[in-house]
Structure 1
Amino acid sequence: MAIRRILTIDNTADLAILKQVSKPVAVVDDAVRALMDDMLDTMYDAPGIGLAAVQIGELQRVVVMDLGDGPAPEAAEAAAEDEEGSEETRVPNPRFFVNPEVIWASDETFCYEEGCLSIPEYFDQVERPARVRVAYLDRTGARIEGEIEGLYAVCFQHELDHLNGVLFIDHLSRLRRDRAMSKVKKTMRLREDA
C-alpha cells in the first residue's frame, strides 16, 4: 500500500489525463485490489471521501469511497447520532467500486456543495439526481446492484464522472469554471512558495 500523487487541474499534463475516459476492468484480481488499497491510503491522506483511479493517473474504472458512515460500535452510538459526524465520531466504511454505472436516475434533484481532491480548495453547488440505481463489481468481483441517495449518491455520481473524463466544475457555468481554475492555480502557487 502506498500514497500516490493526486493529479490536479492546474497542471496541463495532469488535466489532459483527468479528461480521458477510463477503461473497463476485465477482472477484479490482486493487482486491482492493490490499486484500490493505494487509492484508499491516498484518499485518507489527502483527506477526502472519494477517489477515482484516474486521479492518480490510472485509467481504470475503479473508485474508492469512505463517507464515514459505517455501523457505529456501541460506545460511539451516541456520538454518531450527529448526521455529519466529526473526524473523531465517524466510523470508517470503505467502499470499493469496479466498473461502476448508473442504470437509473430519479427526476428529483439534489443540490450539494462539492469539492474535489483534483481541484484543491474550491467548492461549488452542483445539482444531480437525488436517487440513482447503480451497478458495480465489489472488491471480490461480485456484481452489486442497488438504489442510493443523499451524499452517497452525490459522491458516486461525482466519482463516476471522473471515470468519464468529467470534472464537477464541468457542470458549472463557464464563468464559475474559469474562477475555479484561477483559484486552484493561485492555491497551488502559494503551496509551492511555502
Structure 2
Amino acid sequence: MAVRPILRFPDVGLRTVCEPVEVFDERLYKLANDLLDTMRAAPGVGITAAHIGVFLRVVVIEFSRDDGPRYYVNPEIMIASDETIRHVEGSISMPGMTDEVVRPKAIRVRYRDLTGAEHEEDAQDFLAVCIQHEIDQLDGVFWTQRLSRLKRERLVKRWDKSRN
C-alpha cells in the first residue's frame, strides 16, 4: 500500500476515458489499496484510478473510516431519477476549488467488486452524487465540465491564480 502522486488539473489524463478491468487479481487489490491510501492522504471521499494516471475503471469511496471503503469496479449507472440534487463538488486533482453541481438525486449502479462478483446498488443523495462524480471521471469528464461556461471559466482562473 502506498500514496501515489495525483494528477493535477488540467492534466490530459483527467480527460482520458478509462478501460474496463478484465483481470481481478492481486494487482487490482494493490491498486485499490493504493487508491484508498492516496485518497485518505489527499484527503478526499472519492478517487478513481485515473486520478493517479492508471486508466482503469476503478473507484474508491469512503465517507468515514468507521464505515470503511466502498470499491466499484467497472461501475455503470443503470437508472437515474428525474429528481435532482444540488451539491458542492470538488476534486483531489484541483484542491481548494469547489462549486455547486446539479445531478440526479438517486441512481441504480451496477458494478463488480474486487473479486469480480457483480452487484447492483441503489444510491441516493450524497452517495449518488459521489458515484456519479467518479463515473464521470472514468468517462474522461472532469467535474468542472458540469458547470456553466461562465462558472467554469471563473473557477479555472481562480485555480490558475492559486498555483502561481
TM-score bracket for this pair, using the shorter chain length: over 0.9
Whole-Å separation in 2 of the counterparts to 1:36 and 1:171: 27
Give the CA deviation at 1:29.
1.1
Instruction: Tell which structure's C-alpha radius of gyration is larger.
Output: 1
User: Runs of at least 4 residues of structure 1 off by over 3 A?
Assistant: none
Give the CA deviation at 1:35.
0.4
Give the CA deviation at 1:169.
0.8
**CA deviation string 1:156-193 (max 9, x = no partner):** 0000000000011101111111112122222223xxxx
> What is the letter of the counterpart of residue 61 of structure 1?
R
* 1:59 matched residue in structure 2: 55
TM-score (norm 2): 0.96
Give me the CA root mean square deviation.
Answer: 1.1
State whether structure 2 residue 91 is matched by structure 1 residue 123: no
Whole-Å separation in 1 of the counterparts to 2:6 and 2:142: 14
Whole-Å separation in 2 of the counterparts to 1:185 and 1:55: 19
Q: 2:36 aligns with which of 34, 40, 60?
A: 40
Whole-Å separation in 2 of the counterparts to 1:152 and 1:114: 12
| Identity across matched positions, percent | 45
**CA deviation string 1:77-105 (max 9, x = no partner):** xxxxxxxxxxxxx6242011100010000
**Structure 1 residues without counterparts, runs of 5 or longer:** 69-89, 190-194
State whether structure 2 residue 126 is matched by structure 1 residue 151: yes
* 2:159 matched residue in structure 1: 184
State whether structure 2 residue 19 is matched by structure 1 residue 23: yes
**CA deviation string 1:47-72 (max 9, x = no partner):** 0000011010000000101012xxxx
* 1:50 matched residue in structure 2: 46
Whole-Å separation in 1 of the counterparts to 2:68 and 2:103: 23
TM-score (norm 1): 0.82
